[in-house]
Structure 1
Amino acid sequence: MSVALDIFPLPQKSEDERLAAVERYDILDTPREPAFDRIAALVRLVFGVETSIVSMIDAHRQWYKASEGTPLTEVPISETFCRYAMTGPEPMIVPDASQDERFRDSPHVTAERGVRFYASVPLTTEDGHNIGTICAIDSHPRQFSGRELEIFRELARVAMSEMELRRLATTDGLTGISTRRAFKEDAEKYVALARRHRSQLSAIAFDIDRFKVINDTYGHAAGDAVLKAVTKAVEPILRQSDIFGRLGGEEFGVILPDADGNAAMVVAEKLRHALLQLSFPGSRPPLTVAASFGVATFDPSADTYDSLMLKADEALYEAKRSGRNKSMPWSGATLATTRQVERRRVLKAGKLVFNDRRSVIDCTVRALWEDGAEVQLSNSADVPDELTLEIPSSNFKWDGKVAIRRPNSLELSFG
């Protein structure tokens, strides 16, 4: 069982402000991007290390925006060395982790070819919040010269500059369609119009099936080619008034103004069949693409943009569970989304407490409403159906039950 640690020795209000800065950049769980891949490649090339990482850190994990030399995409914050680098502005250099009392007993150190050299620089915003790190890691002890340290600092500044540029961008660099932030901004305008005029509006969320297998089998270049091909296949089917965006690695969203549920299902099926027709000559074995689709219709008396997309995502999740390569309408069967509640998007540090307080797991609270919450965590498998959610910064505590369980997130119902 994972047990929470006091990750950052900072006042809890400072941690709230840091997480607000993380949220401001809207980068968690976004796709790979060439600018950050290049920074990770440079760290590995310039310093001759085995592993390099550009990461963001929320309340429960270190998430890798870019990395080389590791198959991991995130680690629980209790297991990462970078939690120590987040407490100040200076780089942290560990010449030999096996000789450092903070790390020598870590399984990352004691493993065969475990970590020896570790260096990281915090990624610091202009208003002084550490939102992530860049890291250089090797299985052999070594030192860092003053010149290397200055180069490392400059690479961290480059990473922050790229994040600032990314924050202002509206177009996804790989596919040319809307970024997640731009998609949301445009969609919220349509949602406001639909509420004001009581007009029809629907949303589609879709996800390429078994995309990880494509990347593992054919390589990331092939995966990028698939994403571009999917985008080109989808765009001709949509109207000019529709909004199309890339929401995650292989996740996409569509907003359909003036479309009811039946019309949206017709569009989803057209898109699904179009993707099945894609071919990639020369791929061995032959590469095919399928996707799962979720469809939801806007309720002007209850829905926000977030709740509408949540319903589409619920339908998508059901399509995945029932066999993939399907289009599913939202059924309204889940507890947290059938009730007319207004979700407030947040990013706060939380703790899941159970087993008479003998078990405490760090989590990131992503949404709150009157009698429920959505939380992210590293693994939900060991969490019981009844627990307590605590938000230390607000002195809030709720006893609740798990309403919806996903591998890395939970929706909780209070009372």
Structure 2
Amino acid sequence: MTYYESTGHLLLTPVDREAPSRVLRLRELGLGERSDAELDAFARRIAETAGAPYAGVNFIGEERQFFAGLHHGPEAPARGYPARVLARDHGYCPYVVARRRALVLEDVRDFARFAGNAVVDESGVRSYLGAPLTDRRGIVLGTVCAVDTVPRRWGTEGLATIKVLAAELVDRIHRREDSGGGW
């Protein structure tokens, strides 16, 4: 479904009705407020597995996104991207969360909805691969993602890989929760 603002303009970031329950769940799990070395290491693994210069573990709040895990490879251009905190209307992760499905963008400029996103012009993002982190309660907490500054053919293999990595991280989150340890 396509959403429009009252002005008739295309709403680039979809309506996210789960945001309030997500924020409560993230607080309960101790996620989404601070960076974490283990999640940074997981982001590095995502980047290495996908062969991408950037990767992240991103938790989405009502007004912002927070990359608790972040990797910026040495081969990545130093353009100030990625940042730990982004507005909710920047990037593609909020779209993955709202639609509850993985997203593959081989060249973001091929899609009018995504080409106009601020990360394209401000950060040089050209391709994106992301999957939702859906917990056992059915709440989408955020995403795992890989990003490149050049168009990429992620293909079905890339899609399958990012989904496996998302499931692995959700399993880690659940194990931590079950053991009574916070994040």
Task: Name the TM-score class by shorter chain.
Answer: 0.7 to 0.9
User: Within the alignment, does 1:134 sit opposite 2:140 as a pair?
Assistant: no
**Secondary structure at 1:155 match in 2:** helix
Determine the C-alpha separation between the residues in 2 that align with 1:81 and 1:147: 20
Residues in 2 aligned to 1:166 and 1:144: alpha-carbon distance in whole angstroms: 31
How is 1:7-406 mapped onto 2 (pairs within 5 angstroms)?
Answer: 7-10=13-16, 12=17, 14-34=18-38, 36-69=39-72, 70=81, 72-111=83-122, 114-168=124-178
Q: Which has the higher contact order (CA 8 A, sep 6+)?
A: 2
Deviation at 1:159, TM superposition (A): 1.1
Following superposition, the deviation at residue 71 of structure 1 comes to 5.1
What secondary structure is seen at the aligned counterpart in 2 of 1:137? Answer: strand
Q: Sequence identity of aligned pairs in percent?
A: 21
Aligned length in residues? 165
Distance verdict in 2 for CA 1:71–1:92, change over 3 Å: closer
- Offset, 1:168: 4.2
Matched residue, 2:76: none
Instruction: Provide TM-score, normalisation by structure 1.
Output: 0.37
CA distance in 2, matches of 1:32, 1:83: 21
Question: How far is the alpha carbon of 1:15 from its aligned partner?
Answer: 3.6
Preserved contact between residue 94 and residue 117 of structure 1 (Cα < 8 Å):
yes
SS in structure 2 of the partner of residue 49 of structure 1:
coil
Q: Offset at 1:136?
A: 0.6
Separation in structure 2 between the aligned mates of residue 106 and residue 76 of structure 1, nearest angstrom: 11
- Conserved? CA contact 2:23–2:62, under 8 Å: yes
**8 Å contact 1:62–1:75 — kept in the other structure?**
yes
**CA–CA separation in structure 2 for the residues paired with 1:23 and 1:89:** 20
User: Rg bigger for which structure?
Assistant: 1
Task: Give per-residue Cα distances to partners, 1:75-129, cap 9 Å, x unaligned.
Answer: 0102232111112332101111122211222332124x71111111010011211
Supply the AA of the counterpart residue of 1:19: V
> What secondary structure does 1:78 align onto?
coil
Q: In structure 1, the residue corresponding to 2:138 is in which secondary structure?
A: coil
CA distance in 1, matches of 2:41, 2:102: 21
Give a deviation string over 1:54-82, Cα, whole Å, max 9, x none: 01111111101111114511101022321
Unaligned runs of at least 5 residues, structure 1: 172-178, 181-415
In 2: Cα distance, 1:6 partner to 1:147 partner: 27
1:78 is aligned with what amino acid?
A: D
In structure 2, stretches of 5+ residues that fail to align are 1-10, 73-80
Q: Is the alpha carbon distance of 1:31 and 1:114 closer, same or farther for their aligned partners in structure 2, counting shifts above 3 Å?
A: closer
Output the amino acid matched with 1:75: L
Q: Could you report, residue by residue, the CA deviation over 1:168-206 in whole angstroms, capped at 9, with x for unpaired residues?
A: 4566xxxxxxx68xxxxxxxxxxxxxxxxxxxxxxxxxx
Who is 2:78 aligned against? none
Aligned partners of 1:71, 1:83: CA distance in 2, in Å? 15
Q: Which amino acid aligns with 2:31?
A: I
**Deviations 1:270-302 (CA, angstroms, capped at 9, x unpaired):** xxxxxxxxxxxxxxxxxxxxxxxxxxxxxxxxx
